[in-house]
Amino acid sequence: MTKALDGVRILDMTHVQSGPTCTQILAWMGADVLKIERAGVGDATRGQLRDIPDVDSLYFTMLNHNKRSLTLNTKSDKGKEIFTRLIEECDVMVENFAPGALDRMGFSWERIQEINPRMIYASVKGFGPGPYADCKVYENVAQCAGGSASTTGIEGGVPLVTGSQIGDSGTGIHLVAGILAALYHRTHSGRGQRVECAMQDSVLNLCRVKLRDQQRLAHGPLKEYSQFGEGKDFGEAVPRAGNDSGGGQPGRILKCKGWETDPDAYTYFITQAAVWKNVCDVIGKPEWKEDPDFAKPEARLPRLNEVFGTIEDWTKTKTKFEVMEICNPLNIPVGPILSMKELVEEESLRKTGTVVEVDHPERGKYLTVGNPIKLSDSPSDVVRSPLLGEHTDEILRDVVGLSDEEIKIAKEEGAI
Ligand code: COA
């Protein structure tokens, strides 16, 4: 079976997380991803957060599957020559260096277009044009600058970052969409184009419901926020809302049986209006179905603490899985809080390839997250990440067209 991106070659100048997330997805979809790294150094994450001495870290392996690694010093004359050949041979170049790094190497967008007008040049940067355009940015900075931290946490408490890597991986996924659109556009324009994603913009895009609420605030309190029912005034900006649902159906995280000792014995419970009567029956409050204080969604909004307190009295008598078994057939949307331990043990995720065991020549077997995007005619196999420079010779020979003698000279000159 062919892969969706068979025949697409990616010049992968990415490092750390945001860029590698993007190129890993393209590789899973079948693109030939050539990861350029500095000899003896490589992507900094190879050595970060190591669990086994001298072995590529899980941080690196889990973000660089299905790629080939080529070491190249793109600042040396010979290295620049080889890099130019690679630009000629590739369809897409992806990079997430600090602003200006590629220009300093001598490969501005204008120069890249001269070398290969069909090249799609995709970049991640921390910020778009403006006062912060030159800043280096990591995940949590993006979460803070993109509106996530100010709206995450408990009302009145400190801003919080989330465990989801929405700044890095979130931006990488946005970049994939841009690259695929540019590839499609090239099929009729014949030309490449520049694709840019700023981490601040991507986080803000993922936080768009909070920008929605910022504008609603001008027209009165946000009644579905718990603090409304608690009689607390709203300030000028969207507040942190704990575990309140971000949508139109109120929801909260509630304790389940065992919560006293198990930090993950909780469920998310949504009081969807359409199934309110089912909720009343399940929690033993059938009288709420007709009670004017509880029967209609609008009437419940100032009483959400009482509503969820009563539901929690019921969920505390059940495990999080029992809550799901009881509520699902009644169309009540609930979800157990699953720990990472529970997720890696979940059989169904293994079956769909979302959690995959990979064998690595130096570290042995480890678990990773497979491609969450499932294509019926282009399934993804997860291939272990490359060792540093593992494919240098074959890429120089087969893609760049160097002879064995030329490869030897390039090595002697320190270009690879
Ligand atoms: N050959 C020669 N030089 C190379 C090279 C190669 N193969 N690969 C990289 N380099 C050089 C770069 O040209 C750059 O040199 P310069 O500073 O002289 O121009 C240098 O290595 C380091 O690049 P830089 O991106 O500045 O790395 P850093 O470790 O200092 O910063 C980040 C890391 C992530 C903060 C920064 O890259 C960044 O802000 N990236 C954009 C936002 C982003 O993606 N952040 C999230 C990361 S998950």
Whether the Cβ atoms of residue 28 and residue 5 lie closer than 8 Å to each other: no
Handedness of CA 367, 369, 374, 379 (dihedral sign): negative
Answer yes or no: are the C-beta atoms of 161 and 140 closer than 8 Å.
yes
Distance 95 CA to ligand 1 centre (A): 9
Q: 375 - beta bridge partners?
A: none
The reply to whether 9-206+346-412 and 243-332 are identical in fold is: no
CA distances from 165 to 18, 27, 245, 359 (A): 9, 20, 20, 25
The string of DSSP codes covering 44-71 is GGGGTT-SSTTS--HHHHTT-TTEEEEE
**Secondary structure (3-state) at 207:** coil
Q: What tokens appear for 147 in the block?
A: 């509106």
> Cα of 253 to ligand 1 centre, how many Å?
40
CB-ligand 1 contact for 126 (6 Å cutoff): yes
- Atom of ligand 1 at shortest range from CA of 18: 48
Strands 9-13 and 32-37: parallel
**Given this structure, which CATH class describes domain 243-332?**
alpha beta
Closest approach atom of ligand 1 to CA 104: 19
- CA–CA separation, 332 vs 384, rounded Å? 41
The finding on whether 135 has its CB within 6 A of some atom of ligand 1 is no
User: Strand (E) positions, 115-202?
Assistant: 120-125, 194-198
Nearest-5° Cα angle at 242, 247 to 291: 60
The C-alpha atoms of residue 283 and residue 277 are separated, in whole angstroms, by 10
What pTM, to 2 d.p., does this model score? 0.96
Contact 81, 75 (CB under 8 A): no
Query: Measured between alpha carbons, how far is 329 from 268 in angstroms, rounded to an integer?
Result: 16
Parallel, antiparallel, or unpaired: how do β-strands 364-369 and 355-360 relate? antiparallel
Query: What strands lie across the sheet with 92-95, from one edge to the other?
Result: 67-71, 32-37, 9-13, 92-95, 120-125, 194-198
The pLDDT assigned to 246 comes to 81
CB of 321 sitting under 6 A from ligand 1: no
User: Cα(254)–Cα(346) distance, rounded to whole angstroms?
Assistant: 22
Q: Residue 288: CB within 6 Å of ligand 1?
A: no
Can you give the residue ranges of every domain in the chain? 9-206+346-412, 243-332
Residues of the chain with pLDDT under 70: none
Q: How many helices (H) and strands (E) does the chain have?
A: 18, 11
The residue behind tokens 């198990």 is 262
Q: State the distance from the centre of ligand 1 to the C-alpha of 117, rounded, in angstroms.
A: 25
- As annotated, the active-site residues are 168
What residue's CA is closest to ligand 1, atom 30?
98
- Residue whose Cα lies nearest atom 35 of ligand 1: it is 136
User: What pLDDT was estimated at residue 338?
Assistant: 98
Cα(35) to ligand 1 centroid in Å equals 14
Tell me the two tokens of residue 72. Answer: 């190249």
Question: How far is the centre of ligand 1, averaged over its atoms, from the C-alpha of 216 (Å)?
Answer: 41
Ligand 1 nearest-atom number relative to CA 14: 44
The CATH classification of domain 9-206+346-412, taken from the options 3.40.630.30, 3.40.20.10, 3.40.50.10540, 2.60.40.10: 3.40.50.10540
Residue 317's nearest CA partner among 282, 353, 278 is 282
- Our mutation pick for probing the ligand 1 site, out of 136, 169, 175, 202, counting the most ligand atoms within 8 A of Cβ, is 136
**Is ligand 1 within 6 A of the CB of residue 96?**
yes
* Residue 36 Cα to ligand 1 middle (Å): 12
The C-alpha angle 67, 199, 384, rounded to 5 degrees, equals 15
Cα 20 to chain centroid distance, Å, stands at 11
Phi, psi of 198 (to 5 degrees): -95, 140
CA torsion angle 329 330 336 342 (round to 10): 0
Residue nearest to atom 31 of ligand 1 (CA): 98
Ligand 1 touching residue 101 (CB < 6 A): yes
> Whose alpha carbon is nearest atom 16 of ligand 1?
101
Do residues 43 and 67 make contact, with C-beta atoms less than 8 angstroms apart?
A: no
The pLDDT, as a whole number, for residue 376 is: 95
**In this predicted model, what pLDDT tens digit does every residue of 137-163 receive, in sequence order?**
999 999 999 999 999 999 999 999 999
Per-residue tokens: 146: 């993109």
Looking at residue 51, its pLDDT comes to 96
φ, ψ (nearest 5 deg) of residue 391: -110, 15
